[in-house]
Structure 1
Amino acid sequence: MNLDGHVVVVGLGFGDEGKGAVVDALCAARPTTAVIRFNGGAQAAHNVVVDGRHHTFSQFGAGTFAGVPTHLSRFMLVEPFALATEARQLEAVGIRDPLALLSVDDRALLTTPFHIHANRAREDARGDARHGSCGKGIGETVRYSLRARTDAPTVADCARPAVLTRKLDALARFYDPLTPPPHSVDELVSLYLDFADAVRFTDGGETGRLTDRGRVVFEGAQGVLLDEHHGFHPHTTWSTTTPHNARELLDGRPHTVLGVVRTYHTRHGAGPFPTEDSAVLARHPERHNGTGRYQGAWRAGHLDATLLDYAIAACDGVDALAVTHLDADRPRVVLEHGSPAVELDDPLAWFGARRPVALAGYGPDRADYRTPVTIGV
């Protein structure tokens, strides 16, 4: 396993595995040219703690505290207003001019207030049959793009006011029966022009240029168990959460796929959770995750060996594991559904028997992470 080269970081659960802390640790440990986001959008919530500073990374890469620039690939769903808010938050914790650390593939889809309001209206209408959502417009952005094709707004359109006006007018008309327009099209066009002036847009060759220049960390969002193809519908995301997109961007370049997993499973909101146990939730209080209106309740349960193996298989395999929350008290594992949970006396050895463990996390701070770790097959 080679953590000196390109690394693809994916979550092997339902999300919230600790991908942000892992990306930060990788970037702090070795020179890194860029962090490239390869799926999802503003619904990501990757927590990083360094020397008392905390930030929940959403669209900026989790290598930002380590001084590593972020590139949002064509597979990202870009939400400019959330980006501007996140930039201000980063400035407040000491990052100078965060937008200067950002580049965006101009082919990426644009998430607008129309998508966000429609997403929330649709989820509210489901009542007790909610699918689970972050309320950030992700599903609606993809849904509309599948219908509108080339008429769906993209990042490139932010610098083309006539094209953007036409596309936003069509978008507003499409969603008007579901939810009233939250903003005027003219207002949005003006604000998106400001976004185009503030952020560097790139063509499709930027990923290749970055990966040829030096080591790149590809940061995944959500977890494989929420994948649009491999998750358990309808409680899934409209995004490919396996390494597939990153592998496509790498275009055959050598890389290491690092799967991130906690010592216990968690889930935010609605959906199946075979090993859920309220005692696990009580034993492991969560500092940076809670209940949200659209996400729903924070849930926890025993490590599920069946789901872990399934997630690894859905990735077409991973090269190594990053195991987080090794400071958890008395973790247990369910080896087969229907069997009782058994104690993990030596969690690293248990994980290492499945895949080599390359990184180990014993707490929320960067100082709590160890790499390289040489455990396992």
Structure 2
Amino acid sequence: MNDHLAVVDLGYGDAGKGTVVDALCASDPVTAVIRFNGGAQAAHNVITPAGRHHTFAQFGSGTFHGVPTHLSRFVVVDPLALAAEAAALGNPFHLLTIDGDALLATPWHRAANRARERRRGGARHGSCGMGVGETMEYALSHPDAPRVADVTSPARLRARLAAVRDALGPLDDVPPLEDVVDAFLAFGRTVSIVDGGHLDRLLGQGPCVFEGAQGVLLDEWRGWHPYTTWSTTTFANVAALCPAFVRLGVVRTYTTRHGAGPFVTEAPLDLPEAHNGVGEWQGAFRVGHFDAVAHRYAAEVAGGVDALAVTHLDAPPRVPGLRICTSYELDGARWERIRPGPAEDLGHQAALTALLDRARPGDLERPDDWADRIGELLQAPVLLESHGPRAGDKLFRQAAVV
């Protein structure tokens, strides 16, 4: 790998970004894994050749290979969740740098997130319950929202945390202010906090991998509103950080979705998940046929992809009923394309959600070569085939390297 590369999920998340990043870091020297969206709600599963499993959240998925992680300014940093993840990994803080301008998620953001979902009852939008959306929403209306650099100033940190508490409270199950201040100050003494120039230096040292969180079909502006995330899941943040990079889109051989929202190709397929299930906040883990229509839309609104990583290629031989959906039936019409609407038009996205709730699978097929057919349907070459969870289960197609 000679170029910077960005890994983006073209579905609803859970397509295997972590295992793809792990394989990239195992196959070639990588200067750093750079996180460019989301926060502690990421759940990227990696299994080592020896069988060790870890679900990466804020640390990059190249950590087992000793590849440094940089959390860019677009990441919502949760110091408490980060401390727990670091402990599970053996505290590899020497591999971590964090942009001081990144937002801080606090226990009040998390509690407000969970309280909001409880109030929705059976009409939940779906959430990981980590407060990432509340952190982003609070920052939009509060210029003094706490940021990572604030942990270097006890007085400023205390004032900004108190402002969050007062604005979002009263809330249950949150620790006292002084306990949070102490924990965040300890975080500041432990991690390496850097400015924006650090990322430029990393990019100048050698190839970096940008690791995305969640998926394009959950994007804050392009997903099926309101069943979306408060995060830009396309390549847009990477483009703001890096002048040139290869765009790698990740898809499974079957489409999945955690929680509520449209899912046209959902089907009762026997596809058990080792590391995904029903979550208290996310809801059920749903599966269905490969949705070429939705994934084509994702690639289009993401600005296109240079290559694909196709994961779970071990599934089709085990599940004879699995198919690829190449069109929808909607109100008597056949849809092969979901036409993107204007940028940042949530009204259009909500109307699209209502349409997709009525859509049903149209044409279904079962190809002989799943990777080639998916590449043909999404009009991009397949760079990586994944036939299992470990790096050794990956096949790189050299002809597809761009």
TM-score of the aligned structures, taking structure 1 as reference length: 0.94
3-state secondary structure, aligned to 1:222: strand
Pick one of 274, 277, 298 that aligns with 1:290. 277
Aligned twin of 1:6: 4
CA distance in 1 between counterparts of 2:156 and 2:284 reads 41
CA distance in 1 between counterparts of 2:44 and 2:139 reads 26
CA distance in 1 between counterparts of 2:364 and 2:398 reads 27
Q: Please state how far the C-alpha of 1:374 moved relative to its aligned partner.
A: 3.2
3-state secondary structure, aligned to 2:221: coil
Number of corresponding residues: 363
Pick one of 148, 151, 157 that aligns with 1:158. 151
CA distance in 1 between counterparts of 2:108 and 2:34 reads 27
Aligned twin of 1:314: 301
3-state secondary structure, aligned to 1:201: strand
User: Deviation string for 1:321-364 (max 9, x for gaps)?
Assistant: 00000011344111101214221221122123221000110011
Aligned twin of 1:41: 39
CA distance in 2 between counterparts of 1:183 and 1:161 reads 18
Aligned twin of 2:371: 348
Aligned-pair RMSD on alpha carbons? 1.4
Q: Is the Cα–Cα contact under 8 Å of residues 22 and 391 in structure 2 kept in the other structure?
A: yes
The one-letter code of the counterpart of 1:55 is H
TM-score of the aligned structures, taking structure 2 as reference length: 0.88
The one-letter code of the counterpart of 2:119 is A
Aligned twin of 1:18: 16
Q: Please state how far the C-alpha of 1:181 moved relative to its aligned partner.
A: 6.7
Q: Displaced runs of 4+ in structure 1, greater than 6 A?
A: none
1:120 maps onto 2:114 in alignment: yes
Q: Is the Cα–Cα contact under 8 Å of residues 357 and 373 in structure 1 kept in the other structure?
A: no
Unaligned runs of 5+ in 1: 92-96
Q: Please state how far the C-alpha of 1:180 moved relative to its aligned partner.
A: 3.9
3-state secondary structure, aligned to 1:286: coil
Greater mean alpha carbon deviation, residues 156-165 or residues 108-117: 156-165
Q: Please state how far the C-alpha of 1:375 moved relative to its aligned partner.
A: 5.9
Q: Is the Cα–Cα contact under 8 Å of residues 46 and 58 in structure 1 kept in the other structure?
A: yes
User: Deviation string for 1:77-115 (max 9, x for gaps)?
Assistant: 000111110011112xxxxx4111100001000000000
Q: Please state how far the C-alpha of 1:320 moved relative to its aligned partner.
A: 0.3
Q: Is the Cα–Cα contact under 8 Å of residues 47 and 56 in structure 1 kept in the other structure?
A: yes
Q: Is the Cα–Cα contact under 8 Å of residues 355 and 376 in structure 1 kept in the other structure?
A: no
CA distance in 2 between counterparts of 1:287 and 1:374 reads 32
Percent identity between the two aligned chains: 54
CA distance in 2 between counterparts of 1:82 and 1:115 reads 13
User: Deviation string for 1:187-236 (max 9, x for gaps)?
Assistant: 11111111011000001111111000111000000000000010011100
The one-letter code of the counterpart of 1:147 is S
1:264 maps onto 2:254 in alignment: yes
CA distance in 2 between counterparts of 1:324 and 1:207 reads 29
3-state secondary structure, aligned to 1:235: coil
Q: Is the Cα–Cα contact under 8 Å of residues 348 and 375 in structure 1 kept in the other structure?
A: no
Aligned twin of 1:235: 227
User: Deviation string for 1:94-145 (max 9, x for gaps)?
Assistant: xxx4111100001000000000000000001000110000000011000100
Q: Is the Cα–Cα contact under 8 Å of residues 307 and 400 in structure 2 kept in the other structure?
A: no
CA distance in 1 between counterparts of 2:397 and 2:241 reads 26
Q: 1:25-174 maps to which residues of 2 (within 5 A)?
A: 25-51=23-49, 52-91=51-90, 97-149=91-143, 151-174=144-167
Unaligned runs of 5+ in 2: 330-361
CA distance in 1 between counterparts of 2:166 and 2:400 reads 57
